[in-house]
Chain A
Amino acid sequence: MEILTILIPVSLGLGALGLVAFVWALRSRQFEDPKGDAERILSDEWDDHPRPD
């Protein structure tokens, strides 16, 4: 059962990583236009290089 001393911190750490990623996404306003983002992926306008802005 000693393995738990490694596994539990690892699982908590991975969970916390997910939480940090979520908080980052929230802060960088990635939930502002979910519908637009879903549609934009279908446009082939900026396939070759990112939009310059």
Chain B
Amino acid sequence: MTDVGLARISACPACDAAPLAERLADPAAHAAQADGTLILSLPTAHCATCISDVERALIGLPGVRSARVNLTLRRVTVDAPGLGADDLIPVLGRIGYEAHELDPEALSATAADRQGRDLLMRIGVAGFAMMNIMILSVAVWSGAEAATRDLFHWISAAIALPTIAFAGQPFFSSAYAALKARRLGMDVPISLALILATAISLFETSASGEHAYFDAAVMLCFFLLVGRYLDHRTRAIARSAAAELTALEVPRATRLRDGAEEVVPVASLRPGDLIRIRPGNRVPADGEITEGRSEIDRALLTGETLPVAAAPGLMLSAGEVNLTGPLTLRVTAAGRDSSLARLTALVEAAEAARGRYTSLAERASRGYAPVVHLLALASFSGWLWATGDLRLAVNIAAAVLIITCPCALGLAVPAVATAASGRLFRRGLLIKDGTALERLAQVDTVVFDKTGTLTMEQPRLVSAEGLPVELRLVALALAEGSAHPLSRALAAALAGEAPAPLQDQQEHPGYGVSARWQGREVRLGRADWLGVRDDEAGRAGSATWLSVGEKAPIRLDFTDRLRPGAEDCVAALHADGKRVILLSGDRPAAVADLAARLGIAEYRAGVDPLGKAAAVEALAGEGAHVLMVGDGLNDTAALARAHASISPASALDAARVASDMVLTGQDLSPVADALVTARRATARIRENFAISILYNIVAVPVAMAGLATPLIAALAMSVSSITVTLNALRLRR
């Protein structure tokens, strides 16, 4: 049963995500969407009111035929022919629900879904058989004799044989695969126990014997199937989470060919292609600007919060965001050669290092399987040698196999993992990787990225008071005309007032906005455009300038806005005795300011992507177990290199793919909570192992001494399984 434990979902999440993303990018796949079914993810929905609110709001829209919320998966399925996600998301936003579009293609009923239903069906059949055989067994235990006992045994056999054949299939096939690969997994002793117990019981029944183990065999099957189903569900949720994340972002580019625009998958871009990048879009490939002026946000690549002016001749890297004006780019490197792919290669190398982690379940099963076989063999040969009775020896060997069978062990890890990941999911944290919880429990050092992780994308206006009232209205009117992040922040800060009437308003991409107000020229934009000298590098925040006519421009200061829960999270981590470090690619002044606001003593500014990975590596070299929390491309290598990693949902897809866990909401506080839950979960797993081992220490000598009756086997098995499950469920509180 090596695969029942918390095996990794995939040796390389990036390999899973890449084909999925490509399939999404394939325009043909989108034809299926024509039937009008949209799926939106709702990370914040959690209660009955949420269901009614969302469904009422959506059904109230003209064109929506039906809307149904699935609270377990936090999704809403909308049947609305002719409407797009862009029509629905603002509607949900207005009633206070965050929503993201998901691709129905990527999420449609998958093989995993069928497999889950298949397992449930087997559990149902095994449960039905177990109850009926148990009713008959109780009669046998309480003293049914002679013909009555034989009749009951025969009926039990008639129920048990088809049940074992049907419900035991997952174990038989995986045991066969293990044997073919010359390994002893946990499934080999399980299959051996099932087959041996059924065969010896059948023989005993035909010989009017006293003991038949049909009940124990079917019960074993039932409990192990429950364990396997729990494990499957945890992994299926994690897998669908990974699919959901890929579905959030589709790698497409707008290519210019003979003057016409066409939307193509990023993978089909070649060096020399001309691509158009609209304001607000991400640069899909490395290249040189041939046309247009704009400003470029490099925060996801470097952590630098100040936008960079872009003009023809400037080289751009994939992953940067175009802010204000449309740009035409000549691709210089795409696919394998782009800087993005080079970083991905770094990630893969780092992941290989982490893949060496062996989970507790794997370690347990590696030690367990040989011991079980040796014990059964020892009791068989011991009794055969002592009594010369082959039938008795086989009987006792079967009893030993049933008793030692890792019922509790098979449930110990999946039950805890299900309870823990369910709890974290409710708090807003998705676990993508099976061993993540165990690794998270060992963490003693937490490394944060600044931009986009501790701070939010949108800055906050600091000095609204410094602005005369009549100029506020002008600033508002100017800011409303631009999509630049600083303009939007300014508009948000001044919202609620009536903007001043302006004439001839126009945006100068890469510089700012200008207009005429009461006959004078007003301008809002970069310092150098307004003719003032400003040393932005020395200041904590960013700034924009407002000038009216020929008067001296006024500086408007912005500061990074903290992500909700960031302060609580850092405080909780400090209280927990963790070492907290801030690594940022941003300029020193901004990093120092934020570190002071959050009370982080250790920080480093101006760190490049390789520097971050190296810093994490150095910490690991000192023996620290590092949790990396980051969102940018510059964090990706560090995320993959760290012992455990978390990224927010707003992170770049490469970062989300590289990390073990993803925050579904905006709040950062689940991070501190996750460390506590992970520690408790690992403690529960160890407790559960201890319970199983204790139970074996008591029961195995009894079985080897030939004293284990079917009643004792049934009792011991159910008691230990239930104890282990209840212990795991304590985590849900």
Interface positions of A (Cβ within 8 A of B): 1, 4, 8, 11-12, 15-16, 18-19, 22-23, 26, 31-36, 39-43, 45, 53
CB of B347 closer than 8 Å to a CB of A = no
CB of B69 closer than 8 Å to a CB of A = yes
Contact A26 B120 (CB under 8 A): yes
Closest CB-CB distance, B436 to chain A, in whole Å? 22
Q: How far is the CA of A7 from the CA of B131 in the complex (A)?
A: 15
CB of B311 closer than 8 Å to a CB of A = no
Contact B51 A40 (CB under 8 A): yes
- Which B residue's beta carbon lies closest to that of A29? B117
CB of B72 closer than 8 Å to a CB of A = yes
Contact A1 B148 (CB under 8 A): yes
List 6 extra interface pairs beyond A8-B155, A26-B124, CB under 8 A: A19-B124, A26-B121, A32-B70, A35-B72, A36-B51, A42-B48
Q: Given that A8-B155, A33-B72 are known contacts, is A39 also in contact with B48, CB under 8 Å in the complex? A: yes
Contact A53 B48 (CB under 8 A): no
Contacts of A32 on B, CB cut-off 8 Å?
70, 72
Closest CB-CB distance, A29 to chain B, in whole Å? 9
Which residues 416-475 of B have a CB within 8 angstroms of A? none
Contact A23 B148 (CB under 8 A): no
CB of B125 closer than 8 Å to a CB of A = yes
Contacts of B124 on A, CB cut-off 8 Å?
19, 22-23, 26
CB of B47 closer than 8 Å to a CB of A = yes
B interface residues, how many (CB within 8 angstroms)? 26
Q: Flag B118-160 by CB within 8 Å of A: 1 or 0 each.
A: 0011001100100110011000000000001001000100010
- Which A residue's beta carbon lies closest to that of B131? A15
Contacts of B155 on A, CB cut-off 8 Å?
8
The one of A19, A33, A53 in contact with B71, judged by C-beta atoms closer than 8 angstroms, is A33
A interface SS class: helix
Contact B128 A18 (CB under 8 A): yes
Q: How far is the CA of A19 from the CA of B49 in the complex (A)?
A: 34
Closest 10 CB pairs of A and B: A36-B71, A39-B48, A19-B128, A42-B48, A35-B72, A33-B70, A22-B124, A43-B48, A35-B71, A33-B72
Q: How far is the CA of A53 from the CA of B77 in the complex (A)?
A: 14
CB of B115 closer than 8 Å to a CB of A = no
Q: How far is the CA of A23 from the CA of B124 in the complex (A)?
A: 8
CB of B537 closer than 8 Å to a CB of A = no
Q: How far is the CA of A17 from the CA of B73 in the complex (A)?
A: 31
Contacts of B47 on A, CB cut-off 8 Å?
39
Interchain residue pairs with CB less than 8 A apart (23): A4-B151, A11-B132, A11-B135, A12-B159, A15-B131, A18-B128, A19-B124, A19-B125, A23-B124, A26-B120, A26-B124, A33-B70, A35-B71, A35-B72, A36-B51, A36-B70, A36-B71, A36-B72, A39-B48, A39-B51, A43-B49, A43-B51, A45-B52
CB of B66 closer than 8 Å to a CB of A = yes
Contact A36 B69 (CB under 8 A): yes
Contacts of A26 on B, CB cut-off 8 Å?
117, 120-121, 124
Contact A31 B120 (CB under 8 A): yes
Contacts of A43 on B, CB cut-off 8 Å?
48-49, 51-52
Q: Given that A8-B155, A53-B66 are known contacts, is A39 also in contact with B71, CB under 8 Å in the complex? A: yes
Q: How far is the CA of A39 from the CA of B49 in the complex (A)?
A: 9
Q: How far is the CA of A12 from the CA of B69 in the complex (A)?
A: 39
Which residues 339-378 of B have a CB within 8 angstroms of A? none
Contacts of B131 on A, CB cut-off 8 Å?
15
Contacts of B48 on A, CB cut-off 8 Å?
39-43
Contacts of A39 on B, CB cut-off 8 Å?
47-48, 51, 71
Q: How far is the CA of A31 from the CA of B123 in the complex (A)?
A: 14
Q: How far is the CA of A25 from the CA of B136 in the complex (A)?
A: 27
Q: How far is the CA of A34 from the CA of B48 in the complex (A)?
A: 13
Q: How far is the CA of A29 from the CA of B121 in the complex (A)?
A: 12
Contacts of A1 on B, CB cut-off 8 Å?
148
Contact A15 B72 (CB under 8 A): no
Which residues 57-71 of B have a CB within 8 angstroms of A? 66, 69-71
Closest CB-CB distance, B594 to chain A, in whole Å? 38
Contacts of B117 on A, CB cut-off 8 Å?
26
Most buried by A among B52, B56, B69: B52
